[in-house]
Amino acid sequence: MADFKTISDDLTKSLDLKYLPVGATLYKHQDPLPANIPFTEDNLKSYCQALALAGKGRTLLLKKEQMGCKLGTSVLGFEEEAEDYLDSGAFEKYEVGLFVSEEASAETILKSTYLPKGQTKAALIAPITSFQEMPQVVIFSANSEQVMWLLYAVNFEKGGPINLLQSGGALGGCADITAWPMLNGQPNVTFLGLGCRLKSALDACHLMMGIPGDMLAMVHAHILDMSKPIAMLKNAQPKT
């Protein structure tokens, strides 16, 4: 089993992360839930808020009703039927001002990445140190420089371009960095979106990056491999 504490400590220290590396695992109806972790009593604003809280040390086992954001629960497979809601151009139906029309809003929402409908019953979102088994996805809340190093770590062996699919800012935390890595086995970065940022309360400099859980050991090893260039950049920066 992976030494999650060592991995978390090394990544946090090497990259000066403000938020701990977070794992996310979704449980289907037939899956046993993790032992000795009760459902969280809080009702949260969104899945994105859960990621931010977990990055500060919270362990959150959540049902659909506790996750606040209908778009997020639709993306993550909690909802049996969500088409009517998703088809409506949810943002501009309420004149949010992110898109010129309901049609543009609906186009963004409908062409995002979704897990199969109605198959998810619960989500465990917690620091990776809370997991006994490898989480399905590992998520970093990080500034642009820290994301740069994480992307270098992903690309350390093969090089070449990295394709980072974007939802258009509508479903950043749920679709871009959770559903996409789960379904495609690829890392991704999101600049988040208005709702994600309002609900998560991340500062303006932070992004989120998700990697499939089976990439965690590789990313950890390559961050350590890059200690020289990481130190080079730290030493070149002005002291505050």
The owner of tokens 């899956």 is 31
Name the residue among 123, 119, 46 with its Cα closest to residue 80. 119
DSSP 139: E
Q: Is-contact 79 73, C-beta < 8 A?
A: yes
pLDDT at position 120: 97
pLDDT tens digits, one per residue of 50-78: 999 999 999 999 999 999 888 899 999 99
Q: Is residue 15 pLDDT above 90, yes or no?
A: yes
Indicate the pLDDT class of residue 95, thresholds 50, 70 and 90.
low
If you average pLDDT over every residue of the chain, what do you get? 90
145: tokens are: 């420089």
CB atoms within 10 A of CB 76: 26
Q: What is the pLDDT of residues 211-221, one digit of tens each?
A: 999 999 999 99
Average pLDDT over residues 193-204: 82
Q: Which is more confidently placed, 167 or 1?
A: 167
Give 79-89 pLDDT, tens digit per residue.
987 655 555 55
pLDDT at 92: 52
143-169 pLDDT, tens digit each:
999 999 999 999 999 999 998 988 876
Enclosing domain of residue 155: 4-236
Query: Percent of the chain, pLDDT > 70?
Result: 92
| pLDDT of 93 above 60 | no
Residue scoring higher pLDDT (195 or 52): 52
Long-range contacts at 80-89 (CB < 8 A, ≥ 24 apart): 80/117, 80/118, 81/117, 81/118, 82/117, 86/110
CA dihedral 60, 63, 68, 69 (to 10 degrees): 100
Determine the pLDDT at residue 149.
98
Query: Is the pLDDT reported for residue 200 higher than 90?
Result: no
Handedness of CA 25, 52, 179, 206 (dihedral sign): negative
Torsion of CA 23, 29, 31, 35, to 10 degrees: 70
The pair of structure tokens assigned to 112 is 């995002």
Q: How many domains would you assign to the chain?
A: 1
48-52, 70-74, 121-125, 223-227: range with lowest mean pLDDT:
70-74
Q: Which two tokens stand for residue 225?
A: 């491999």
Query: Best-predicted range by mean pLDDT among 93-97, 111-115, 129-133?
Result: 129-133
Confidence of residue 239 (pLDDT cuts 50, 70, 90): confident
Angle between helices 4-15 and 144-154 (to 10 degrees): 130
How far apart are the C-alpha atoms of 232 and 86, rounded to whole Å? Answer: 47
Read off the amino acid at residue 70.
K
